[in-house]
Amino acid sequence: MKKTIAAAVALAIGAGIIGAGAGLAAGTADELITARQAEMKANMAAMKAMVSMLKGETPYDAAAVKAAAKSMADAQAEGVAKGVWDAATQTGATVKTGAKPEIWSNAAGFDAAWKTFDTAVAAIAATPDEASFKAAFPAVGAACKGCHETFRAAE
């Protein structure tokens, strides 16, 4: 059963990364905003898989946790490489974005928020067992929440 869960998580996360990668190849503001949104969707898919384990809805699976953390790190690295956070992506012609102008006007704060996220994701990836995963996971949630509260417009 654990292998089935890990395979399902890996498939879902992989699909998110592939979707993100397809969008990231583009270069207009609309395309880059769409790619940035795909990056966040990949993160959300990874978070859902880990939250399910955290809540005991699915059994803890170390391989699935590592796959989720890798998905998050890979999505971010790909987005950064393609420039999805470039100032030219503040507004799109047709694609609406939830990114606040503070991302660019407070670049140091945004960079610090990403570093906090990176550190939390790396800590999750390094967890050797369920107890350490459960202890490390709140930092990931806090990093997401902190960034969204400051740098993402309310829906």
Of 140, 38, 145, 144, residue with least CA distance to 82: 38
Domain containing residue 79: 2-151
| 62 to 50, 68, 112, 117, 125: CA distances (angstroms) | 10, 10, 28, 20, 9
pLDDT at 26: 52
Q: What is the total count of domains within the chain?
A: 1
pLDDT at 16: 52
d(CA 23, CA 14): 14
pLDDT at 5: 53
pLDDT at 11: 47
pLDDT at 110: 96
The residues with which 99 forms a beta bridge, in sequence order, are 152
Say which amino acid occupies 11.
L
d(CA 100, CA 150): 8
pLDDT at 12: 53
pLDDT at 27: 85
Residue 4, class by beta-carbon neighbours within 10 Å (0-12 exposed, 13-18 middle, 19+ buried)? exposed
d(CA 124, CA 84): 25
Binding-site positions read 144, 147-148
Reported pTM: 0.80
Domain at 20, CATH number: 1.20.120.10
Q: 134 with 54: CB under 8 angstroms?
A: yes
Residue 46, class by beta-carbon neighbours within 10 Å (0-12 exposed, 13-18 middle, 19+ buried)? buried
Binding-site positions for heme c read 144, 147-148
Mean pLDDT of each 10-residue bin along the chain, 155 residues long: 50 50 64 95 96 96 97 94 92 94 96 96 97 97 95 89
